[in-house]
Amino acid sequence: MTTFFYSHPAFFEHQTGSAHPESPYRLTAIATALLRPEFVKLIHQEAPRAEPETLRLVHTEQHIRNIFDLVPDENIIYLDPDTVLSRGSGQAALRAVGAVCAAIDAVFNGEAHNAFCGVRPPGHHAMPEAAMGFCLFNNIAVGAEYARRHHRIKRVAIVDFDVHHGNGTQACFEDNPNVLYASTHQHPWYPGTGNPRETGVGNIFNVGLPSGSGSKAFRDAMTHTILPAVDRFKPELVLVSAGFDAHRDDPLASLELDEEDFGWITTELLTLADRHAGGRLVSALEGGYNLEALRASVAAHVRALMGAC
């Protein structure tokens, strides 16, 4: 398979402070993993900068203006106890959205079968009207609307296996029957959303996993709930919020997955993309804060994307 990997030096310029878990070192770990000989056929692409109007596909004008108005000339500022702005944050955020949109263009234009966007800041907690949870803009949510409008498709499925529920993505689409959002996550845990009773208009599927859950619980949730929901939906594009913080070694939660689980679910989602979407699948980095675990997990994910699993 032809797999694109999107990155850009601007992502390293989103500075969060020495003690913050969402640090530029995450991308260094990923870059190290993807330089291995097994990934020699991975095609590296430079993430373009999204135009500000692209953000308006899901975000309010006030939120967009607030973010760029608050970008500091030096040091960092906190939008909330978790979410940081530095001098380079605005440009990094535009390129994070731009990477996802460019990857979507690539799979629709036939240049790539699938793509992984190694971006920061992450996105799935960003609400239409507010930043939160390390996230400024919702990269995957913008991508879903971009695909529907620019490539004239109707149905997009978003699958989120980050350990934290993607409350922002759910908020963007809970009233939209043409976008399916399906999530496995630790529950109860930050941000407190993601109860299975949250079903939107029949397009939201949440499976909360208790603390300590491992591979069996995760794979059962995917096999019995998430994957059948995506299959029934018949998406024309599959998007993935690829958070790797459900790994057993991650410091921010307490699920017990390993890198093989991430390779497995990637392969399963590729099967559904092949069945319904001409193979079109785009994933974007969300969480993952133990650098060794992140390195191994991303390698498993990209290995599966390239058809090596």
Cα separation, 239 vs 142, in Å, equals 11
Active site residue 125: yes
SS3 182: strand
The residue count for the chain: 309
Question: Which one, of 237, 217, 243, 247, lies nearest residue 280 by Cα?
Answer: 237
Catalytic residue among 59, 125, 185, 276: 125
List Cα–Cα distances, 123 to 2, 83, 169, 200, 240, in angstroms: 25, 11, 8, 20, 12
Q: Which three-class secondary structure state does DSSP give residue 187? A: coil
Q: What is the DSSP letter of 282?
A: E
The whole-angstrom separation of Cα 235 and Cα 229 is 10
CA angle 262, 282, 183 (to 5 degrees): 55
Calpha distance 193→196 (Å, rounded): 9
H helices of 1-127, in order, are 25-34, 52-55, 61-70, 89-108
Q: Are residues 163 and 244 in contact, defined by beta-carbon separation less than 8 angstroms?
A: no
Structural contact between residues 166 and 179, judged by C-beta atoms closer than 8 angstroms: no
Catalytic residue numbers? 125
